[in-house]
Amino acid sequence: MNLRDAAAIHPFPGIAQLEWLAGQMRGAAVRESTKCLSQLAGLFQDQSAYQASDPQSIVYRVQWCEPVSQGTEGGLFWGVTHIEPGRVGEEYFMTHGHFHQERDRSEFYGCVKGEGILLLKNERQSWHESMRAGSLHYIPGLAAHRVINTGDVPLVFWACWPSDAGHDYGPITTDGLGLRVLRGDTGPCVVAVPVPARDTQ
Ligand code: M6P
Ligand code: ZN
């Protein structure tokens, strides 16, 4: 469906009620998903610590609304993510992380509360940005993105992304983002990790 057809069918009246500082969305159109440790297999560096963790531990929860259907060109989605404090071994709880299926689509993240790090990676480099209450982050097209909660309380951030962006989790599952965030002696440390070599044949 294109945007004109979608608007003709549904004129998008107030689609949700936001509690900005709590990072909550309410309304019939609000969707919700929860990720627990068992759904993040293979992402954490310390496999034995992962095996020893409770697979039912909730790592993060996302609420969002889709005023148009997924794949609609020109539309936007809106959501909020709560990442729990916690670690697997020395590595902090984090989102799965993804590229957009439509690689050139960009996204905004706006942090409400907590402390964390946004990791990004494109074809040329990996980099990171600090997240704290009030920080706004523009995720450019072509960049994979993952958020890590480095604090002792939930990290909460709003997000807005194109309705035709889609999520591609495959490359992150196999290759990571080239950086990890680990607890160090003096606090969180961003460390470089080699990206697995690929057979280019
Ligand atoms: C943000 C947005 C969502 C994403 C969510 C969790 O709210 O980027 O599109 O789904 O974070 O991230 P992930 O999909 O990587 O688990
Ligand atoms: Zn995204």
Question: If you measure from the C-alpha of residue 50 to the centroid of ligand 1, how many angstroms do you get, rounded to a whole number?
Answer: 22
Give the pLDDT score at 200.
45
Mean pLDDT, each 10-residue run in order, the chain (201 residues) = 69 84 95 98 97 98 96 97 98 98 98 98 97 98 98 98 98 97 97 74 44
Give the pLDDT score at 201.
44
> Are 113 and 156 spatial neighbours (Cβ–Cβ below 8 Å)?
yes
Sorted by where each starts, the structural domains of the chain and their CATH numbers stand as 3-192 (2.60.120.10)
Nearest CA to ligand 1 atom 15: 97
Atom of ligand 1 nearest to the CA of 79: 7
Question: If you measure from the C-alpha of residue 1 to the centroid of ligand 1, how many angstroms do you get, rounded to a whole number?
Answer: 23
> Are 172 and 99 spatial neighbours (Cβ–Cβ below 8 Å)?
yes
DSSP single-letter state for residue 168:
B
Give the pLDDT score at 3.
73
Ligand nearest to the CA of 70: 1
Q: Which two three-digit tokens encode residue 25?
A: 């969305």
Question: If you measure from the C-alpha of residue 127 to the centroid of ligand 1, how many angstroms do you get, rounded to a whole number?
Answer: 18
